[in-house]
Amino acid sequence: MAEYSPVIPREAVDRSFAKQGPKQYTLWVDIEHCIGCNACTVACKAENNTPVGVDYNRVIEIEEGDFRDAGKTPNVGVTFVPMPCMHCGRPACQAACPVGAITKRKEDGIVLINKDKCIGCRYCAWACPYGAPQFNAEAKIMEKCTLCVHRVEKGLQPACVTTCPAKVRFFGELNELTMLMKERRARGVSISVGGADTKPSVQYTK
Amino acid sequence: MNSLIEIGLQAPLRVDSTLCSRYRSTKSECAACAVVCPVPGAVRLGDGADNNGAEINAACVGCGACVSACPNGAIRPREDDRLAERIGERVQAGKVFRFACSRAQGRADLVVPCLSRLTEALVLEPIRGGAEGVALCAPDCSGCGLRKAAPQWARTMAFSQALCESAGLGAERISGVRTLSGEAEEIRLPAKAPTSRRRMFQSIAERWQASGEAALQGEAAEATPVEPFREIVQRHSENPKRMDLLRLLDALPGSGAASKAVATTGFPLAQLEVDSRCVGCNVCETLCPVGALSHREEGGAYTLEFAAAQCTGCGVCALACYHQAMHVREPAGLSQLFERPRITLVSARPRTCRSCGERILGDAAEFCPACQVSGDRRDAIARHFFSGGLKNV
């Protein structure tokens, strides 16, 4: 894993955590059945109209195995990991922002960047262990996945979820999603980073 | 007459947000105004949401303790009380100028509701005018309704004394005098010419008109779209309090003679240092409320300069710096107020990131560290948790 040491005062993270409400909207991504078609990435770009180089959602491809292992059958595989913003319980980006432009909404736990306040210093990009905040070089401000808050507020699901052809992305309240995962007997993986644990809310199963 | 021209319920003081440390950075925990405010609930500090700055509401009694306490000069009386002018008119060469609070007994050259209204520039103003000394007369503050503001005038006096000593004038020229409590009497100057009735009504009419115009302008300003925060913080207003003080120090008789080292702990001054972790992101410059930092790019070199005389030691630069490259060093010498050096904090050759086009300092490769880490981290995290998927095959 890449070396990373966020310089965030522990109290600052704790303070932001104390402000969190009980509700947390988030995503569940079923890695096992993801086909790596990148439809979520494209739908996200179309929905949020992001410029080139700014991706709120990116699908990481992990290629493993070897064809040259003598005497054995080729043992290879690919895993696709869609990486949106984790809408953390203790957002490192919020603690790093010098002007208080990043807020975690009490009512639904969505972490948002206030574009009027953001001064484009990119401190959130430094702080985020998941590489979620993206720098918009044209507007000189930071942007990131909003969990399609404009759609959620209208009662719709995020664009990436409705688009997913393999139906591996699910949107909902965190407790509902964990119930759903139990129902389907999916093996959950918590991708929280040790050290300064930011308590990511997005759920993965494999 | 004041009640005649008052329009609506407005606090007698107003806050210039662009100078407020809290407004500019949510990392600042400055509460200088709230600490000295004697009225509970008159100063409201923001909670980190849209406006993190200080606000003063109509409960304010206008004692002016916060005007003196705010190191950045962000709080000012809504209506100019012309204190400096009034002191200038009344000062007599070779005599001791007496300031008194309204509870002090005896005669004084200038009576203010509370001595905490006085800034260092006002306390030193009589010395500039040629007075032998300055006496701050007040009874025991513990019995006063404004007692929470009392530490402020003690601080102002200590700073003024240190400035006096540093200028080679002697700290003893400014003294605090304990009086009995009673009613202070202001020495009235004989009017130069008797005011005519016509003149009096004319002046009332002028003030009426002025206040009406101001109110109309205020309404017009509200109609225009609100300027986004990120553009507001690009502006740097002059710190009026510090500018007054610097102008006064220029004009002090015998100033600049001997600037001795005086202990300065607790004074609104600081010395800054930047270490090698600086990446040249300019956040310190952007967020500095008083514009003490500025950068230049000349001949391919990036230079960050620090105007020490402007710095009030609010620490926003050090708190905001993510890379912890900025350090506030105390104590700072009072001489920086007299000599006003411009100190070069950083001088380096910047590079341009190929991905985001932003400037970076240091010897990173073609991509800036911010771009590099954010992409790498996505990969690294995904690999860390989801490699080994083969085991299921």
Q: Do B382 and A60 lie within an 8 Å CB cutoff? A: yes
Query: Of A103, A119, A129, which is closest to B377 when you measure between CB atoms?
Result: A129
SS3 content of chain B, % helix, strand, coil (to 5): 40, 20, 45
**Cα Rg for chain B, rounded, in angstroms?**
26
Q: Is the pLDDT reported for residue A133 higher than 80?
A: yes
A116 interfacial to chain B (CB closer than 8 Å): yes
The token pair that represents B51 in the structure block:
């406006």
pLDDT attached to residue B19: 92
Asked if the Cβ–Cβ distance from A189 to B386 is below 8 Å, we say yes
Q: Read off the pLDDT band of B163 (50, 70, 90).
A: confident
Q: Is A51 on the interface with B (CB under 8 A)?
A: no
The mean pLDDT value of chain A amounts to: 84
Q: Does pLDDT of B260 surpass 60?
A: no
Q: What is the pLDDT of residues A89-112, one digit of tens each?
A: 889 898 889 998 999 988 889 999
Residue B7 predicted with pLDDT over 50: no
Q: Is A17 within 8 Å of chain B by CB?
A: no
Q: What is the largest CA-CA distance in chain A?
A: 62
Q: How far is B356 from chain A (nearest CA, A)?
A: 6
Burial (0-12, 13-18, 19+ Cβ within 10 Å), A97: buried
The reply to whether residue B383 touches residue A1, judged by beta carbons under 8 angstroms, is: yes
Q: State yes or no: pLDDT of A144 exceeds 90.
A: yes
B348 touches chain A (CB under 8 A): no
Q: What local confidence, expressed as pLDDT, does residue A35 receive? A: 92
Query: How far does the CA of residue B27 sit from the closest CA of chain A (Å)?
Result: 6
What integer pLDDT is reported at residue B134 of this predicted model?
92
What's the confidence (pLDDT) of residue B6? 46
Burial of A20 (0-12, 13-18, 19+ CB in 10 A): middle
For residue B250, the model assigns a pLDDT of 86
Residue A13 distance to chain B (closest CA, Å): 12
Does the pLDDT value for residue A6 go beyond 70? no
User: Which is more confidently placed, B81 or B245?
Assistant: B245
CB pairs under 8 A between A and B: 147
Q: Is the confidence at residue B192, as pLDDT, over 60?
A: no
pLDDT, tens digit, for every residue of B94-125? 889 999 988 888 888 888 889 999 999 999 99
* Residue B263 pLDDT grade (very low, low, confident, very high; cuts 50, 70, 90): low
Q: Report how far apart, in Å, the C-alpha atoms of A161 and of each of A144, A184, B148, B341, B367 are.
A: 17, 18, 58, 59, 33
Asked if B390 lies within 8 A of A75 by C-beta distance, the reply is yes
CB contact under 8 A, B377 and A130: yes
Cβ burial, residue B225 (10 Å; 0-12/13-18/19+): exposed
Q: List CB contacts (< 8 A) between B386 and chain A.
A: 31, 62, 79, 81, 189, 204, 206
A58: chain B residues, CB-CB within 8 Å: 378
Contact B390 A77 (CB under 8 A): yes
Task: Name the range with the highest mean pLDDT among A72-76, A96-100, A182-186, B226-230.
Answer: A96-100
User: What is the average pLDDT across A53-59?
Assistant: 89
Average pLDDT (A100-125) is 90
Cα B31 → chain centroid? 12
pLDDT over threshold 60, residue B392: no
Residue A86 pLDDT grade (very low, low, confident, very high; cuts 50, 70, 90): very high
Alpha helices in chain B (DSSP H): 2-5, 21-24, 32-36, 65-69, 83-90, 120-128, 150-166, 197-223, 229-232, 240-251, 283-287, 316-320, 335-339, 369-386
pLDDT more than 90, % of chain A = 39
Partner B contacted by A74 (CB < 8 A): no
Q: What's the average model confidence in pLDDT over A136-159?
A: 91
pLDDT reported for residue B50:
73
Interface test with A, best of B18, B379, B387, B393 (most A CBs within 10 A): B379
Question: What residue type is A117 in one-letter code?
Answer: K
Tell me what the mean pLDDT of segment B149-164 comes to. 90
Least confident of B71-85, B135-149, B340-354: B340-354
Q: Is the separation of the CB atoms in B78 and B13 below 8 Å?
A: yes
- Of A116-125, B150-159, B216-225, give the lowest mean pLDDT range: B216-225
**pLDDT reported for residue B316:** 92
Residue numbers in B near A65 (CB within 8 A): 390
Q: What is the pLDDT of residue A195?
A: 63
**Cα distance from B38 to chain A (closest Cα, Å)?**
28
Between B382 and B5, where is the model more confident?
B382
**Letter for the amino acid at B4?**
L
Beta strand A25-30 pairing with A203-205: parallel
Contact A204 B386 (CB under 8 A): yes
Q: Which of residues 123-152 of A touch B (CB under 8 A)?
A: 123, 125-135, 137, 141
Interface contact B28, partner A, CB < 8 A: no
**Would the pLDDT of A14 be above 60?**
no
B261: pLDDT strictly greater than 70: no
Rounded to whole angstroms, how far apart are CA atoms A8 and A23? 25
Closest Cα in chain B, distance from residue A136 (Å): 8
Asked if A91 and A102 touch (Cβ cutoff 8 Å), the reply is yes
For residue B393, what pLDDT band results from cuts at 50, 70 and 90? very low
A136 falls in which pLDDT band (50, 70, 90)? confident
User: pLDDT tens across B307-359, in order?
Assistant: 989 999 888 999 999 888 899 887 677 888 888 888 888 888 877 776 666 77
| pLDDT mean over A39-64 | 91
- Least confident segment among A61-70, B79-88, B260-269: B260-269
In chain B, whose CA is at the least distance from the CA of A7? B322
Does the distance separating the beta carbons of B374 and A65 come in below 8 Å? no
Tell me which residue of B160, B381, B165 sits closest to A83, measured CA to CA.
B381
- Helices within A68-202 (DSSP H only): 92-96, 123-127, 149-152, 159-163, 174-183
- Set of chain A residues whose Cβ sits within 8 Å of the Cβ of B22: none
Residue A31 sits at the chain B interface (C-beta within 8 Å): yes
Rounded-to-integer distance, Cα A51 and Cα B356, Å: 12
Q: List Cα–Cα distances, B50 to A110, B23, B34, B46, B241, in angstroms.
A: 17, 9, 19, 8, 27
pLDDT at A192: 77
* Mean pLDDT computed over A179-203: 81
Reported confidence tier of residue A4, pLDDT bands at 50, 70, 90: very low
Q: Is A59 on the interface with B (CB under 8 A)?
A: no
Residue B181 is predicted with a pLDDT of: 75
DSSP states along B126-191? HHHTT-SEEEEEE--GGGSTTGGGHHHHHHHHHHHHHHHHHTTS-GGGEEEEE--BS-EEE-PPPP
Could you write out the DSSP letters of every residue in B117-136? G--HHHHHHHHHTT-SEEEE
Whether residue A85 is predicted with pLDDT greater than 90 in this model: the reply is yes
Tokens 């410059």 belong to residue: B285
Residue A8 binned pLDDT confidence (cut-offs 50, 70, 90): very low
